[in-house]
Structures are given as structure tokens and as C-alpha cells.
Chains A and B, each alone.
Chain A
Amino acid sequence: MPITHPNLHLTQLAGAIPAWLGEIKPDDLQPICQNVRDGGGRLVALWGSDTREQGKGYTLHIALVNETGLICLSVPLPAGQPGYPDVSQIFPVANRMQRAAYDLLGIYAHEGHDHRKWLRHGAWHGGSFPLRKDFDAVLSRTNEPDAYPFVQVEGQGVHEIAVGPVHAGIIEPGHFRFSVVGEKTLRLEERFGYAHKGIEKRFESLTVQHAAKLAGRVSGDSTVAYAWAYAMAAESIAAVTPPDRAVWLRALFLERERIANHLGDLGYLGNDVALSFGFAQFWILKEQVLRNNAALFGHRYLMDKIIPGGVAADLVESGAQSGKQTLFKECAMLEHEVRLLRGIYEEHAGVQDRFIGAGRIEPKLAARLGLCGLAGRASSQSWDARVQFPCAPYDKLDVQMATYRNGDVAARVIVRFDELFESLRLQREILANLIHDDGLAIPLAKLPAHGFGVGMVEGWRGEVLVAIHTDADGNLTRVHPHDPSWQNWPVLEHAVIGNIVPDFPLINKSFNLSYSGQDL
């Protein structure tokens, strides 16, 4: 058992990662969360579902993680007044998730200190909730002005700089409200949700196979991670184990996604300090990876290549177009080039002057705020789902986690370099182990009724979680994808405090969080 509590009865879920499910009463929520927190655990995701058709009112779901695995708790709430005890005091990261859960479903946290809207930008009425089953999209449509009370900072010489949601460059929409004195940042407040796409509502009307495509489109730069997490959740409900060849290929795709994104980010980080040379070099390498993806697997970003039950693309091994040979060659080329470029970055005084000390997050603060993924590892938060909960084939790979203490931009750059080399090593090992010939996929026709499955994959940005609920007919009734950016965006607000305004883009890029991924 991952945790013990008198009122908690956990049942282990089938599937690739260690996960437990339990139902608790609202009153037990805070003590159990505190218990997990005290044991060094974190909150991964918080979402709600409309279970009135099953006679249960609403249900709050919470996914916690500690060193033994994933603990999924569901908390039935009364249909009349669906309130639950606030957990943002225990896990600060829950704040935005609780507010989003209210905007989408109307369930709310008692005694929460922040009840401002989060996802609702005036596109639907305040009294209607899109994820309720009786939501009427036409009647709820509105165009009310989007008023949002930002926190005001007062004092002599303090002024605000409002940036976005439309930016000077072509990037995703997000609003940043800086309170500054001169060039020094006193406070940053973020506002997102401009790219709310209603993904979770759309999932409700899709079949298991179609929903896999949607899952792969939640966040384009993490399409492999989302597709795998979704497939893992579906396979967990159906208690299906994909073929060996499929899981090795999945790991290959995931590592290639990590390689491509880390290369792109390292280029961007050079660009943000005006070292366009680094930008161009890293992007030439990234393009090479993407082109090899397209040539070998049929899609530059490997979209739709992971399906529930297996994979939809194979690596051709024989003949002149041996995919293995191409990838081995690519590995050697990348290792050589990236080593050279790393030397240039590390020896460039101007670059290091900008990187070192910028946007520092101390390990203590990172732990308190639940910083995860790549940014977390740069602040010595050693969480990596590939290491702690190695699903097949990572259990045979011995992934080396890259952690660093400093928590500044330089540390996040170092972690990226280290992970890049580790991914290249893993890619070689995966290629060497890709020997099974037991098919690519086991068809997954229909899911069992009233099932719950969860999948968690360490994407390049951090852990991506997808949870699936099925109804009495085995159809999808609720799918909740969760992006690690939920955890890390609030930490960025802390990272920029005390830094100068022109350093913000660099600090932001060193986190490189998703603006729209799963409707932030």
C-alpha cells in the first residue's frame, strides 16, 4: 500500500505503472493529502466529473504521487452543493486546478483563498458549466467583457507592464502582468486560458480509437507523451498488454520527441541572448531529427503513431533503407555536433553571463511549490517517471536521471544537455533491443463498463497524465489529460522576482511551458 489511512481502501489498478484507486469522503481529503505531503509526495492532477447519471452527484478526482506510485482518489460530492475542502493550502499547485474545476464543472473548494475565475474568459455564462452533462453550448454562449482582478502592487515608482496575450513574436497566447520598479520585477502574475479548446468536452463524444487522435493533439510538442499516456490509461482499463515490439517503439518515439524538443529549446535559449549562431545550429539538428521522423515513420512529430493497444508505425530494418542504420548514424552525428555546441555555449562568456543566476528557484521553494519535470530536476527535485515508475521497456533500460541544484537558467540548460545525451544513449540501446517480432498492436475494441484507468508518461517537459472514465456502456464519459505546465507556470512567477524585465523571456524560455496544452 502506498499510504495508510483508516478511512482509505485502495485497490491497485492493472497497467504499466503502479497506480491505486480509492474512494474517500470529503472530510478525509485534507488529512490524506497532508499524509502524502508529509511523506514527500506531490499532487499531480485535480479534476472533476459529472456523475449525476450514476446517482452520485459530482465527483472530485485527485492524483497524488509518492515514491511507491500514483494514488488516485475520488471524492463524491453532493449534487446540490458540490463543495470540498481546499487542498491548495497543502499543495499550492492545486489553486489553479481548483479554479479551473469550478469554471468547468461548478465544484468548488470551501475556505479557498482565491476564487477568481481561471479558464472562463467570458465565452460562457458564469452560471453554466461546460463539463456538466446538461450543458447547453448554444444557450450558454455569451460575449461578456472579460474582467479579471489582478493583484495590485503599490508603492513609490511601481508601475505595471501588461504583456500579451498577443505578442510581438509568433508564440502562443498568454498574458503576463509585471509590477516593476525601473527594470526590476517585483511581481509577475500570469493569466492563461486564451487557447481553451474544450478538449475535455470533446472527448466525451468520441470512441476510444478517435479519442487517441485527440489525445495526440492536446499539445503538439508532446504528442507522443500524450498519446502514450492515453494508450496506457485505455490499456489499464482493458487490462491489455501491448506487444514487446510496440513498447520498444513507443520508447523510441518518446526519446526522439525529447531529443527534438531539447534541441529546439537549446537553440531558442541561444536566440534569446541574441546568439543567433546557436539558434541556427541547433535548429538544423532538430530539423534533421524531424526529417528522419518523417522519412522513417511518416510524421515529423510522430503524431498518431501510438494507438491504444500498440503502435501504428514500424521501423524498417532490412535492405538499403535500413531505419536502424539511419538512426545509428543520426545518433553519432548528433552526439558529435551537440558536444561541440555545448563547448561553445559553456565557454562563451556573454552567454554564461546571461544564463548563470537568472531565474533561480531554490530546491526548497521548488519542493514547496511542486515543481516537476525538467525544470524540477534543475532544482534538485529528482522525479522522473522513467526512473521511479519504469513502465516497459524502461524497466530494462536503466535511465540515468539528470539533476542539478542551482535552479537557474544555466542549470536548466545543463539538464537539457545531459538529458539529450542520455536520450541518444537510450535510443541506441532501444535500437539494439528492437528484436522482437510479435506484432505492432493488439486491437482494443471496447472498454469495460464503469472503468477507470490512468497513464503517466515522462514527456520532455515533465510528467503527462491521462485519466479515463467509462460509463455503463463502456464509452468514454470523462477523459482528463494533464500537462506538467500546470505545476510549473506558478513557479515561473517566483522565478522572475528580483530579476530585470529584459531577462524574463530568457527565464520563460528556460522553462518552456505550454500555453495551451490541455486548456491551461
Chain B
Amino acid sequence: MMTTDQRLGILFQLYQSLLVVLLAPLLTGWVNQCRAWLQNRTGPGLMQPYRTLRKLFHKDAVMAYNASPLFRVTPYILFGCMWLAAAIIPIIAVDLPFSPAADVIALVGVFALARVFIALAAMDIGTAFGTLGARREMLVSFLAEPALLMVFFTASLISHSTQLPRIVEALAHHQFVLYPSLAFAGLAFVIVLLAENARIPVDNPGTHLELTMIHEAMILEYSARHLALVEWASSLKLFAYIAIGIALFVPYGIAEVGNWGALPQAIIALLVKLTLAGAALALLEALLAKMRIFRAPEFLGTAFLLAVLGLLIHFLLGA
């Protein structure tokens, strides 16, 4: 027999999962709209990603004739991984039933799983672009992952746990303290976020130049519902990363489970934070040019260094 708390927890979990999957394209739309405004353009509106998804789901899928089942199932795995990741992260409430299932290290693993599948799928159909994209993606991600882990470790050292709910609780629901180590980790996290989500200056999500692509090159052969799922998964990934950033660095406002009263406040806080984060991301992208691919190691090396500095500061200052 489930206790009331457990039942509530499942309700919160369902609520958050649905919210995330529905809100993620809106966040992408918001970032694109901000980018358009910053470039003096009118922009397609906030709803454009939803329209794109609807259009793609209505189309007939075309498959490369030599595509294996791996290529076919990858969009579903990708979407599943990203949804799972978004379900683990405390977005509106801590102590969700899914959260203990995986800590931050497992979270990194979930992202890695998705990446392995998309890289394999990209090589599966054997076009030059797929392989090119997979190769570059691996270069970028194998540099970004350690930096991300270091960021998580800094936060874990402060909260003495690798569980995201514990981290959020330690940072948000206890006495307000400023952690200098987290400032370094925060900078490193922004760099990782840009690299992992195929944003400028590492990749360009809006490009049509096939030779410069990283993420887009891997998904060139997808169409219709498969492409829709891949695009949706990208939106979810961006949402999940920003949610991780919020949970680690500005967790104030996330509700405790069972506290229905805190829920409206938590949702408003989330929306405000997402709006600001999206606008900041767009601003960053408007100001930067894309770097040469071989600059990416330096860029991500900086992220790693900053994260390690964060760790060191924690040990030296205990803060």
C-alpha cells in the first residue's frame, strides 16, 4: 500500500514530466525569438517549434535504403533518454520518486547513452556527413563530459551527496550562503552547456552549410516523425541543461514534495528563471562568432580548468 507521500510524489513526478515535455519546445522558441530580436528581425514567434513538430509528424518518413534498425530506433532512444534526464532533475519539486534512481553521475551517463546512439546512427547510413558529424561530436563531447563531471563534483562536495535533490536541498532550503567555488563551476557549466547543446560558438543550430555542421550533420538523413523526435529531444536536452543549471546555481523556489502550496510559486519561479536563461543564451549567441573546430578543445579545456579551480577553492576555503 502506498503512503500519501508516495502517491503525491508520483503525482508531482507525472506533473513535472508532462510539463517538461510540453514546455521544452517553447523554450527553444523563446531562445530563437530572442535571437531574432537581437538581430533586428521580427522572428517566427514563440510557437514556431510546435508548428515545426506538427508539420514533421504529418509527413511521411523517408529512410535510407541501407539503414539498419539501429537508425530507426535511435530517435526513440534519444527522446527517451532526454525525457528521463528531465524527469530526474528537480525542476519544480525535490524528492521525486525518480530522483533517487539516478545521481548526477548516472545523469551524465544518460546523456552519454543518447550520444552514443546518435553517433552510431549517423555512421550507420554511411554518408560522409554522418561520419563527419559523429567524429566532431565525439571530439566535443569527450572534452565536455569531464568538465561537466567536475562541475557536479564541486556541487557534491558542498552538499556531501551526488543526488541532485540533496544538492538542491543543501543549497536552496538551508541558510543562504555564497559559495565562491560555485561561481567557477557556474562559468564552466555555461561553456559545457553551449558545447553540448550545439550552440554558438561551438556549433551553429541554424546553419545550412553541411560542411560546418556537427549536430546537424548527424541528423541530416532523418525525416518526418524521426526528425521531429530528434528535434524534440534537442529541445528537451537544452531544457534539461538549463534546469540542471538552475538546480545547481539558483535553486531558490523549487518546492518540497507534498507542499502543494509551494507549487504555484515554484512554477512561476521556474518560468522566470527559464525566461532569463533563454534570453541570456540568445544574447551570448548574438555576440559570438563560431570558432574553428580545433579551437573547441581550448574552449572546453577552459571549462575543465574552471571546474577544477572550483573544486580546489572548495578544499582550500571550505566554501
Contacts and interface: CB of A to CB of B under 8 A. Distances in A.
Given A163-B211, A168-B209, A276-B35, A350 B291 contact: yes
A503 B128 CA distance: 17
Interface in A280-321: 280-281, 284
B208 A168 contact: yes
Contacts of B128: 159-163
A277 interface: yes
A276 B38 CA distance: 10
A351 B292 CA distance: 10
Contacts of B213: 168
Name the residue among A272, A274, A276 with the largest chain B CB count within 10 angstroms. Answer: A274
B41 interface: yes
A500 B40 contact: no
A240 interface: no
A276 B209 contact: no
A116 interface: no
B290 A274 contact: yes
A350 B288 CA distance: 7
B49 interface: no
A277 B286 contact: yes
Nearest to A159: B128
Interface string A425-453: 00000000000000000000000000000
Given A274-B289, A501-B132, A503-B292, A280 B39 contact: yes
Contacts of B112: none
A502 B201 CA distance: 13
Nearest to B201: A350
Contacts of B294: 183, 500
Contacts of B39: 276-277, 279-281
A274 B194 CA distance: 14
Nearest to A279: B39
Nearest to B41: A280
Contacts of B204: 274
A274 B289 CA distance: 5
A43 to B, nearest CB: 31
Interface string B30-72: 0000010011110000000000000000000000000000000
A505 interface: yes
Interface string A128-168: 00000000000000000000000000000001111100011
Interface in B157-213: 200-201, 204, 206-213
Contacts of A502: 211-212, 292-293
B220 interface: yes
Contacts of A273: 289-290
B289 to A, nearest CB: 3
Contacts of B201: 274, 350
B139 to A, nearest CB: 9
A55 interface: no
Contacts of A501: 132, 211
A351 B211 contact: no
Given A350-B288, A353-B291, A500-B293, A505 B40 contact: no
B290 A350 contact: yes
A275 interface: yes
B220 A348 contact: no
Contacts of A168: 208-210, 213, 216, 220
Interface in B199-246: 200-201, 204, 206-213, 216, 220
A10 to B, nearest CB: 47
Contacts of A275: 288-290
A169 interface: yes
Contacts of B291: 350, 353-354
A351 B289 contact: yes
A176 to B, nearest CB: 9
A453 to B, nearest CB: 42
Nearest to B217: A168
A413 to B, nearest CB: 13
Given A274-B290, A500-B294, A161 B132 contact: yes
A284 B40 contact: yes
Interface string B6-30: 0000000000000000000000000
A340 interface: no
Nearest to B287: A277
B292 A348 contact: no
Contact of B211 (A276, A348, A504): A504
A354 B208 contact: no
Nearest to A281: B40
A168 B217 CA distance: 10
Contact of B290 (A280, A354, A504): A354
B205 to A, nearest CB: 9
A284 B41 CA distance: 9
A1 interface: no
A84 to B, nearest CB: 39
Contacts of A170: 208
Interface string A486-506: 000000000000001111110
A482 B39 CA distance: 38
A500 B294 CA distance: 9
A501 B128 CA distance: 12
Contact of A354 (B35, B200, B210, B292): B292
10 contacts: A160-B128, A169-B209, A275-B288, A276-B206, A276-B286, A350-B290, A353-B295, A354-B290, A503-B292, A505-B209
Interface of A: 159-163, 167-170, 183, 272-277, 279-281, 284, 348, 350-351, 353-354, 500-505
Interface of B: 35, 38-41, 128-129, 132, 200-201, 204, 206-213, 216, 220, 286-295
Given A161-B211, A275-B290, A276-B39, 5 more contacts: A161-B129, A275-B289, A277-B39, A354-B289, A502-B292
Query: Which A-B residue pairs are the 5 nearest by beta carbons?
Result: A169-B208, A350-B289, A274-B290, A280-B39, A505-B209
